[in-house]
Amino acid sequence: MIIIGVLFFSGCASSTLFTTVPEGASDIITVSQASPGQDFTRRTISQFGIGSGICLRGMLFGLNYTFIGSKNWGGSIRYKSNIFKSNDVPSDYYDDGYRVFSPKDYVNILSFNLLKGFTTSARSSRFGIEAGPSWVNYSKAEFELNPNYDPNPDPTVNWIYQIGTKYKYYKDHVRSNTIGLSLMAKLEYLFVPYAGMEIALFTNINSIRSVTGICISFNFGDVRD
């Protein structure tokens, strides 16, 4: 009796089945995958996600589409909006009594990332890293003193006129655009074949307003076998 063993390494969890053959017979090698749900080399993953998070300043809202193809390589399109309180609010901005919410600045990021996935021994999780260029729009609040401001308006004056005199400051947003670099490391929990949760650490480096934070997203689609 001749015993022939072959060890097969695939980068994923796998096992090799050793087969014994009668003396003089041809060698037979049979390989079976112990964890077929983690072998993405013969299938594709396609999913959409929505989430939110926190940044070094302010909060975050995000949307994404992710595709994973052969050999665990893929790509993603991600939109993130970082919202935070403006630093340049005048100290007497609220004196007119009509301002309720703090003025906000916005950083909107649209990134196109290359993705590399890393499998685990469990079907319910996987890792990934992403990097790619991004378009960045920074919307910054600016304030101008209202020259017609009247702290004691005449109640008998036409209300249309009062609209232009009751606010102490005019507020507007000035927008600027640039190109940035997005980087991300993520861990996915794949609850069921059509839904999962993603926890991601990310940063966007740009010349106007860099953003760093953590985001939790819920993904839907063909997330796993």
- The residues that bridge with 219 in the sheet, in sequence order, are 49, 196
| Tens-place pLDDT, residues 25-45 | 444 434 334 344 444 444 688
pLDDT value at residue 143: 95
Per residue in 45-103, pLDDT tens?
899 999 999 999 999 999 999 999 878 899 999 999 999 999 999 999 999 888 889 99
Tell me: pLDDT of 16 over 70. no
- List pLDDT tens digits, range 144-178: 999 888 887 766 666 566 667 888 999 999 999 99
- The pLDDT value recorded for residue 14 is 39
* Whole-number percent of the chain with pLDDT over 90: 58
Residues of the chain with CATH 2.40.160.20: 37-222
The pLDDT, as a whole number, for residue 25 is: 45
| Cβ atoms of 49 and 66 closer than 8 Å | yes
| Class of domain 37-222 (CATH, top level) | mainly beta
The letter for the amino acid at 214 is I
Whole-structure pTM value: 0.75
pLDDT digits (tens, 9 = 90+) for 117-152: 988 877 788 999 999 999 999 999 999 999 888 887
Task: Tell me the C-alpha to C-alpha distance, in Å, between residue 109 and each of 81, 135, 181, 186, 201.
Answer: 6, 6, 10, 18, 15
- Percent share of the chain, pLDDT over 70: 76
Residue 154 one-letter amino acid: D
